[in-house]
Amino acid sequence: MLIVACWPLVRAARAQAAPGAPVAEAQAEPPESFFEIVFSGGSVGISIMLFLLGLSVTAAYLVIEHLLTIRRRDMMPEGLGDEVRAQLTAGKVAEAVQVCRDRPSFLSFVLLNGIAEIEGGWSAVEKALEDATAEQSARLFRKIEYLSVIGNIAPMAGLLGTVTGMIMAFREVAATQGSAGAAELAEGIYSALVTTVAGLVIAIPALGAFAIFRNRVDQFVAEAAYVAQHVFNPLKRRRWASQARRSPPPPPNRED
- Give the tens place of pLDDT for each residue, 140-152: 999 999 999 999 9
Kindly report the backbone phi and psi dihedral angles of residue 193, in degrees, each rounded to the nearest multiple of 5, phi listed first: -75, -10
36 or 75: which leads in pLDDT: 75
| pLDDT for the residue 255 | 52
CA 65/CA 114 separation, integer angstroms? 29
Report the range of poorest mean pLDDT among 10-24, 68-82, 159-173, 241-255.
10-24
* Whole-number Cα distances in Å, 97 to 94, 136, 154: 5, 18, 46
- Across the range 241-255, mean pLDDT stands at 52
Read off the pLDDT band of 34 (50, 70, 90). low
Q: Whose CA is closest to 198, among 49, 6, 42?
A: 49
- Across the range 7-12, mean pLDDT stands at 42
- Give the tens place of pLDDT for each residue, 197-241: 889 999 999 999 999 999 999 999 999 999 999 999 877 766 654
| pLDDT for the residue 133 | 95
For the chain, domain boundaries:
2-13+33-240
Confidence check: pLDDT of 154 > 70:
yes
Confidence check: pLDDT of 251 > 60:
no
CA 86/CA 104 separation, integer angstroms? 18
Q: Which of 18-27, 129-138, 186-195 has the highest mean pLDDT?
A: 129-138
| pLDDT for the residue 123 | 87
Q: How buried is 33 (Cβ within 10 angstroms: 0-12 exposed, 13-18 middle, 19+ buried)?
A: exposed
- The answer to whether 50 and 162 are in contact (CB under 8 A) is no
Read off the pLDDT band of 23 (50, 70, 90). very low
- Helical H runs in 18-71? 23-28, 34-39, 42-69
| pLDDT for the residue 194 | 82
